[in-house]
Amino acid sequence: MEIIFYHPTFDTPYWIAELSKQLPGANVREWKRGDNQHADYALVWHPPVEMLQGRDLKAVFALGAGVDSILSKLKANPEMLPESIPLFRLEDTGMGLQMQEYAVSQVLHWFRRFDDYQAQQQKSEWQPLADYQREDFTIGIMGAGVLGSKVAESLLAWGFPVRCWSRSHKAWPNVKSFAGADELGEFLRETRVLINLLPNTSETVGIINLNLLNQLQDHSYLLNLARGVHVVEDELLQALNSHKLKGAMLDVFSREPLPQESPLWQHPRVVMTPHIAAVTRPQEAIAYIARTITGLERGDHVSGQVDRQRGY
C-alpha cells in the first residue's frame, strides 16, 4: 500500500515514521512536487492541486477537523478530487479534551468575575463583587457535533445549565436541544455564554451577527472556537460597545493572522488566542488514520467521512 503525506508545517519525518510503524504493510512517503507515482491514500493539509489531481486514490485524509479550506480549494478546482474518492477528517483525536480545557477555563473566568477583578486591579480598586449564579449562566453551544458534545459534557460537570443548537435534535442527558432556524431564537433567548463550534459552510458564514447577538441575554459572552468567518467582526464590536455583550474570547478570525489595524486587538473586553484552541495531536491522529485505513482495507464501515454536499 502506498501513502503520500503533505503538510506545510508538521514534522513530516516523525509522521512518516509513526505511520509506517502503525501500518506495517504500507510504504509512506512525503509528497514532493513532480511526484506522480502511484498512491492509494493521501494525507494532506493545504495540498497543492497537483498532489491530488488525476490520482486513483482510495481515500484522502485531511489532517485537521475543519475541511473548509480543502473544500473551498475543491470548489475552485473540482478536478482535484472526484466525488468518487472519499474525503475523511479528524474526529476528536485529542481535540475534544483541548476544547474542554479552553471552554471550561474561560467560562469559569467569566463566572467568577475575574474579568471584572482584572479591570478593578488596573484601577487599584479593592472591591468584592456579588457572585453570579449558575442558573443565570446558561451555556448555549452552537454546533452539537464531535467537539460540541465534549464541551457540553465538561460544562455540565461544573453544574452549568447547558443547551445546544444544531441541524437535528440531540438526545444528550441534561442538555436542552434546539434544531434548525425555527428554534434558533428560542435557543438564544436564555443563553448567557454562547460557544461556537459550527463548521464553516455557506449556511453558517456570518451567522454570529448583531441580530443574533441581540437575542442573547443582556451582558452575555461569546466564545468563538470554530472559524472566524462565522462572526461579523464589526457587529461583534457594536454588541460589545453597547454592553449587550460583556466579553468575548476569540480563537479564530476572519483574517489570520489578525491584521494589526483590527480594533479587536485593543478592545478591553476582548481576549484572544492565535487559532490554538485545539490542534492536531500527532499520536492520536496517526492512531485514528491507521485504524481507519485498516478498516477501509477490510471493507468495514468507518466514521469520519465528509459529506461534501453538506460541506462538513
Ligand X SMILES: NC(=O)c1ccc[n+]([C@@H]2O[C@H](COP(=O)([O-])OP(=O)(O)OC[C@H]3O[C@@H](n4cnc5c(N)ncnc54)[C@H](O)[C@@H]3O)[C@@H](O)[C@H]2O)c1
Is 66 a binding residue for ligand DGY by CB under 6 A? The answer is: yes
| Interface segment toward ligand DGY; rule CB under 6 A; list 28-36, 58-66, 103-111, 160-168 | 58-66
Residue 28 exposed, middle or buried by CB count within 10 Å (0-12, 13-18, 19+): buried
In angstroms, rounded to a whole number, what is the distance separating the alpha carbons of residues 225 and 99? 8
* Binding residue count for ligand DGY, defined by CB under 6 A: 4
Which residues sit at the interface with ligand X, rule CB under 6 A? 65-66, 95, 143-148, 166-167, 197-201, 203-204, 225-227, 251-252, 275, 277-278, 312
Cβ proximity to ligand DGY, 70 vs 240, nearer residue? 70
Residue 275 designated active-site? yes
In angstroms, rounded to a whole number, what is the distance separating the alpha carbons of residues 120 and 107? 19
In angstroms, rounded to a whole number, what is the distance separating the alpha carbons of residues 176 and 59? 37
Cβ proximity to ligand X, 16 vs 184, nearer residue? 184
By beta carbon distance, the residue nearest ligand X is 145
In angstroms, rounded to a whole number, what is the distance separating the alpha carbons of residues 239 and 303? 39
Q: Which does 232 bind (CB under 5 to 8 A by kind): ligand DGY, ligand X, none?
A: none
Cβ proximity to ligand X, 47 vs 143, nearer residue? 143
Q: Which position among 7, 163, 192, 227 bears the catalytic label?
A: 227
Q: Which position among 46, 169, 275, 291 bears the catalytic label?
A: 275
| Torsion, Cα of 129, 220, 239, 198 (10° steps) | 150
In angstroms, rounded to a whole number, what is the distance separating the alpha carbons of residues 244 and 213? 8
In angstroms, rounded to a whole number, what is the distance separating the alpha carbons of residues 87 and 67? 9
In angstroms, rounded to a whole number, what is the distance separating the alpha carbons of residues 312 and 309? 8
In angstroms, rounded to a whole number, what is the distance separating the alpha carbons of residues 14 and 182? 48
| Interface segment toward ligand DGY; rule CB under 6 A; list 59-67, 153-161, 171-179, 298-306 | 59-67
Provide the 8-state DSSP code for 148: H
In angstroms, rounded to a whole number, what is the distance separating the alpha carbons of residues 42 and 62? 9
Residues 28, 47, 64, 217: which binds ligand DGY (CB under 6 A)?
64
Query: Which H or E element spans position 110?
Result: helix 95-111
By beta carbon distance, the residue nearest ligand DGY is 64
Which residues within the stretch 253-312 sit at the binding site for ligand DGY (CB under 6 A)?
Answer: 280
CA-based torsion, 177, 183, 184, 187: positive or negative: negative
Smallest gap from residue 249 Cβ to ligand DGY (A) = 16
Cβ proximity to ligand X, 154 vs 166, nearer residue? 166
Is 229 a binding residue for ligand DGY by CB under 6 A? The answer is: no
Residues 23, 51, 60, 65: which binds ligand DGY (CB under 6 A)?
65
Is 197 a binding residue for ligand DGY by CB under 6 A? The answer is: no
Q: Which does 166 bind (CB under 5 to 8 A by kind): ligand DGY, ligand X, none?
A: ligand X
Spatial neighbors of 118 by CB under 8 A, at least 6 apart, are: none
How many residues make up the chain in this entry?
A: 312
Smallest gap from residue 180 Cβ to ligand X (A) = 7
Cβ proximity to ligand DGY, 220 vs 280, nearer residue? 280
Provide the 8-state DSSP code for 231: B
| Residues classed as catalytic | 227, 275
Residues forming contacts to ligand DGY in the complex (CB under 6 A) are: 64-66, 280
